[in-house]
Amino acid sequence: PFVMSPLPAAPAASAIDALKTPPVAAASGAAKEATGGAARVADMGAPLPARPRAESRADPPARESRASLSRSTSMSAVASYKETELKSVMGQGTYGAVYRGLCRGEAVAVKIMSLQRDTAEDIKREIKLMRDCDCGNIVSYRDAFVKEHEMRRMLWVVMELCEMGSALDVMKRQKGPLDETSIAWICKGVLAALDYMHSIRKAIHRDIKAANILLKSDGVVKVADLGVAAQLFNTMSKRGTMIGTPHWMAPETLAQMGDDSTYDTKVDIWSLGITLIELAQMQPPYADTRSVFKVMMLIAHSAPPTLDEATQATPLFHDLIATLLVKDASQRPSAADLLDSELIKNADSTGLRQLLTVQAAQKLEQVSRSREQSESGLSEKERAESIEKTMQL
């Protein structure tokens, strides 16, 4: 993400501890910081109380996924994920690498981050926002703790695994953009997540793009990487700074960089509009422009982007993009309003689920072929262990 101003300095241990320390105990806890800080950081995985379920406008598959998620989350309250074993690297998040992991038979995603003073506050905010979220279209939090990784004590954040990766990964695997029906379904899931974040959690995501939209094998859409999300009413928030990825940033975030900036949840609506173009063309507008400064000037002073003439799209899809990409933020609709638009209300997951099924089968075939090639000359026991690892993957 593109960050123009430094974060407020804060001791890594105390910032992370704030997630676990009740307000009443904060003062006495600070007194013990010098001698007991490290030990308390290591206890981040303590069980969290159950939270009341919020109303959601998520689609039926997402509601089913959330019911399953609720059961698994209640289990994690009594069982830590400190036994998680890392299997493979999946990608890079805002503040750390993301791994595929396995804990007691459950496949999970694990973000591993270093505990540094200049990122501690944002890491704390990301974990707290993930922990508090109860939405079927936002990646679910499992656990957080400090554990050694590559000979360093690191923060491990364990999350729900989205087997098919990001929408960007899906496009790369098929070497082409998504069709309009799949894009509409993805848009519906993202809007449900944004509606929840904006209205219930009072937060802005500020980094909506294809790489941060994850997909389950059953087609459920999950918004990820809340590392740059801002609490709307947090007096220490950095809403007067530019945070996000330049190509997806709203014009008002570039024009208002002072402490009196007033941009709000509508920046996510603009970013979603850019993301729809990205999903339809495999790249955002101005992707061929190398200068970041020039990209920023084009966003701030040019007419709103549109689909290329060569991109096939229905009038409804063109209209949706035009509605999202209105330069006057006050004229952009809310996520709740957009969920009632014709294209989104009629969105269907069938096409996307078929594509994901094909890609899942191809991935399994590739893994199996790779295992077969490496198993030549193995003993029967070694071959059985290899098959078991393949099934875990």
What is the set of active-site residues? Answer: 207
50: helix, strand or coil: coil
Contact 230, 238 (CB under 8 A): yes
Residue burial 172-211, b: 16+ Cβ < 10 Å; e: rest: ebeeebbebbbbbbbbbbbbbbbbbbbbebebbbbbbbbb
Length of the chain: 393
How far is residue 295's CA from residue 285's CA, in Å, rounded to a whole number? 9
Give the pair of three-digit tokens for residue 246. 């330049």
Helix axes 350-375, 380-392, angle to 10 degrees: 160
How far is residue 117's CA from residue 227's CA, in Å, rounded to a whole number? 15
309: helix, strand or coil: coil
How far is residue 384's CA from residue 347's CA, in Å, rounded to a whole number? 44
